[in-house]
């Protein structure tokens, strides 16, 4: 439809003076449009609310619950159906026949859809989809985390994700509760995990935290995050482990996995890896993320994920980076499930309880809101602090190589030389750092820089052994 304006002072049967009204395009006006544009407009008229095009990602089609990324030619099939359904109309319109024939070629079809992707009815950006972080799309409706109400699925919400679980506050989850009690006997830790998963239902970063699930295996941590991931369906993502690890060759498409995610789990089982501190701080800090899909332009989006690292071995971390340590929360999975208790079908049983697990997570969200946040247990604080102490290589070096002496000092250059010697003999491997970064780390450890004889700079309060 085109818009016709009725001038002030004139009127007719179609509208009041000075009013914008819908009017069908005249044949003369329609003929002035290009062939591809004419078909694109017909496509838009026929498939309103059934397709959207998200710039930087691609076409999506409405599945009755959400808009799914078109990866099997759904939009092309719809264009073919349009031509077939309207072919009889074209029998009496030579120009329309030519348009349809042109659109049936591969290049013609691409041209029509390329134009259609720019029409207002279809064209959206990443900011326009999944825009309301409080809407959680479930199998039986869209749940509003603000009100606790379930509403029917609607294309107007432009949601591109849906969970496997349905909203059923009374759903049974007996196997899930039994599993939690066995793998995480501490009720305070269980409640903490429930609140953390509850926060993950929200589509924005409100807790600048990286939860670390730690255990040597056969302890349930994999079953735990796997059951949550299954229940959350599209909202659960498992990005490449390299996303959180120090690796100069990480591809820029890796962070695109986080778009629209709410439960983002990175599984890393190898030991000795260095955590990418700056990346972790950025991806848990709530700042916009710039990423891209393969062969697509970069897009910028607000993070929606709550991050989890699952590991058998804690990665290496700089002990002096307090901004990073404020984000890390380690939950130990200490229970070891003996072989005679292991159920090879437990994962399948928990998949059947997706509705109950989702209800458990929603209870965690309610507890988070009522109680005032995550409320980190003392055990999590203790384990994390122990990890920080072990990881603080500067503190360990000073303890091994220096004496505390309130009236003494050590020249900066000599302390750095001693550091290099100490680092070279550590069997666990200590990451090399530049001289200036070393000096800054010593200052962060609490040692003041002073001027001494020969106009040299030194650290006060310590001497070399």
What's the CATH code of the domain at 433?
1.10.10.10
DSSP 147: T
- pLDDT tens digits for range 337-352: 888 899 999 999 999 9
User: What are the start-end ranges of the H helices in 233-343?
Assistant: 277-283, 322-325
In angstroms, the CA 326 to CA 209 distance is 8
In angstroms, the CA 263 to CA 236 distance is 5
Q: If you average pLDDT over residues 434-449, what whole number do you get?
A: 92
295: pLDDT strictly greater than 80: no
Angle formed by the axes of helices 74-85 and 35-46, to 10°? Answer: 100
Are 381 and 459 in the same domain?
A: no
Task: Give me the pLDDT at residue 97, please.
Answer: 87
- pLDDT tens digits for range 100-152: 998 999 999 999 999 999 999 999 999 999 999 999 999 999 999 999 999 99
Are 230 and 374 in the same domain?
A: yes
Please name which of 354, 115, 144, 151 lies closest in space to residue 234, comparing C-alpha atoms.
Answer: 354
In angstroms, the CA 183 to CA 165 distance is 23
Please, are residues 448 and 459 in contact by the beta-carbon 8 Å criterion? yes
Domain boundary among 355, 389, 423: 389
**HSE toward the beta carbon, residue 454, CA cutoff 13 A:** 5
Are 251 and 284 in the same domain?
A: yes
Are 288 and 376 in the same domain?
A: yes
**What mean pLDDT, rounded, does the chain reach?**
89
**216 against 122, higher pLDDT:** 122
Are 214 and 338 in the same domain?
A: yes
- pLDDT tens digits for range 261-279: 999 999 976 766 888 888 8
Residue 144 counted as domain residue: no
In angstroms, the CA 266 to CA 250 distance is 15
Are 69 and 186 in the same domain?
A: no
Phi, psi of 162 (to 5 degrees): -150, 140
25: tokens are 């395009």
Task: Give me the pLDDT at residue 169, please.
Answer: 95
Structural domain boundaries, residue 280: 174-389
323: tokens are 């901004």
Residues contacting residue 248 through CB under 8 Å, at least 6 positions apart: none
Residues contacting residue 313 through CB under 8 Å, at least 6 positions apart: 269, 270, 271, 272
Please state the domain count of the chain. 3
Is the dihedral angle over the CA atoms 440, 446, 452, 458 positive or is it negative? negative
10: pLDDT strictly greater than 80: no
Task: Give me the pLDDT at residue 251, please.
Answer: 60
DSSP 273: P
**369 against 428, higher pLDDT:** 369
**223 against 323, higher pLDDT:** 223
Of 23-27, 271-275, 293-297, 407-411, the poorest mean pLDDT is in 23-27
Domain boundary among 339, 372, 389: 389
CATH of the domain at 274: 3.40.50
User: What are the start-end ranges of the H helices in 293-434?
Assistant: 322-325, 346-352, 354-371, 378-391, 393-401, 412-424
Residue 3 counted as domain residue: no
Task: Give me the pLDDT at residue 27, please.
Answer: 42
Q: If you average pLDDT over residues 158-186, what whole number do you get?
A: 97
181: tokens are 């009690």
- pLDDT tens digits for range 391-439: 888 989 999 999 999 999 999 999 999 999 999 998 777 878 889 989 9
Please, are residues 140 and 53 in contact by the beta-carbon 8 Å criterion? no
**148 against 29, higher pLDDT:** 148
Residue 148 counted as domain residue: no
Task: Give me the pLDDT at residue 33, please.
Answer: 62
Residue 151 counted as domain residue: no
In angstroms, the CA 260 to CA 160 distance is 8
Domain boundary among 354, 389, 424: 389
Residue 133 counted as domain residue: no
Q: How far is CA 393 from CA 7, 218, 273, 459, in A?
A: 78, 31, 15, 17
Are 232 and 286 in the same domain?
A: yes
The structure's pTM equals 0.83
**275 against 201, higher pLDDT:** 201
In angstroms, the CA 392 to CA 41 distance is 63
Are 224 and 353 in the same domain?
A: yes
Task: Give me the pLDDT at residue 319, please.
Answer: 64
Angle formed by the axes of helices 74-85 and 106-116, to 10°? Answer: 100
190: tokens are 């269980």
Are 284 and 433 in the same domain?
A: no
Residue in this structure with the two tokens 């239902």, named with its chain if needed = 201
Are 206 and 331 in the same domain?
A: yes
Are 360 and 255 in the same domain?
A: yes
Residue 135 counted as domain residue: no
190: pLDDT strictly greater than 50: yes
Residue 424 counted as domain residue: yes
Q: How far is CA 244 from CA 136, 198, 210, 278, 325, in A?
A: 26, 23, 10, 9, 14
Q: If you average pLDDT over residues 378-391, what whole number do you get?
A: 92
Task: Give me the pLDDT at residue 417, please.
Answer: 96
Are 307 and 452 in the same domain?
A: no
């Amino acid at each position: 439809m085109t818009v016709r304006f009725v001038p002030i002072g004139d009127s007719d049967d179609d509208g009041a003076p000075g009013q914008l009204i819908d009017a069908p395009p005249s044949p003369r006006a329609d003929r002035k449009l290009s062939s591809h544009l004419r078909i694109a407009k017909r496509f838009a008229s026929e498939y309103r609310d059934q397709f959207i095009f998200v710039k930087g990602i691609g076409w999506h089609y409405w599945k009755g619950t959400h808009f799914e990324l078109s990866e099997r030619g759904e939009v092309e099939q719809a264009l073919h159906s349009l031509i077939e359904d309207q072919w009889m109309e074209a029998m009496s319109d030579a120009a329309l026949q030519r348009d349809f024939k042109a659109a049936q070629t591969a290049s013609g079809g691409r041209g029509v859809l390329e134009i259609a992707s720019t029409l207002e009815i279809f064209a959206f950006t990443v900011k326009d989809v999944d825009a309301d972080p409080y809407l959680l799309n479930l199998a039986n409706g869209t749940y509003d985390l603000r009100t606790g109400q379930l509403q029917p699925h609607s294309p107007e919400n432009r949601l591109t994700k849906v969970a496997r679980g349905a909203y059923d506050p009374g759903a049974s989850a007996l196997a899930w509760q039994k599993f939690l009690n066995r793998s995480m006997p501490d009720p305070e830790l269980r409640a903490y995990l429930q609140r953390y998963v509850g926060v993950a239902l929200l589509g924005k970063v409100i807790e600048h935290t990286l939860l670390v699930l730690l255990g040597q295996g056969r302890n349930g941590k994999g079953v735990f995050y796997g059951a949550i991931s299954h229940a959350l369906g599209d909202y659960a993502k498992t990005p490449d482990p390299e996303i959180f690890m120090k690796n100069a060759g990480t591809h820029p498409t890796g962070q695109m996995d986080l778009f629209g995610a709410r439960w983002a789990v990175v599984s890393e089982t190898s030991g000795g890896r260095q955590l990418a501190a700056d990346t972790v701080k950025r991806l848990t800090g709530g700042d916009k993320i710039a990423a891209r899909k393969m062969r697509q332009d970069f897009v910028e989006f607000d993070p929606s994920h709550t991050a989890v690292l699952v590991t058998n071995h804690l990665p290496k971390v700089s002990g002096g980076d307090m901004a990073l340590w404020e984000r890390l929360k380690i939950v130990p999975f200490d229970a070891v499930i003996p072989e005679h208790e292991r159920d090879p079908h437990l994962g399948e049983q928990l998949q059947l309880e997706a509705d109950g697990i989702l209800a458990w997570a929603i209870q965690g969200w309610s507890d988070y809101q009522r109680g005032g946040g995550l409320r980190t247990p003392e055990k999590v604080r203790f384990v994390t602090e122990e990890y920080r102490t072990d990881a603080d290589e500067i503190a360990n070096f000073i303890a091994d190589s220096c004496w505390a002496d309130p009236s003494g000092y050590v020249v900066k250059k000599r302390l750095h030389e001693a550091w290099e010697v100490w680092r070279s003999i550590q069997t666990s491997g200590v990451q090399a750092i530049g001289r200036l970064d070393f000096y800054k780390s010593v200052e962060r450890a609490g040692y003041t820089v002073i001027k001494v004889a020969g106009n040299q700079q030194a650290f006060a309060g310590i001497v070399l052994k």
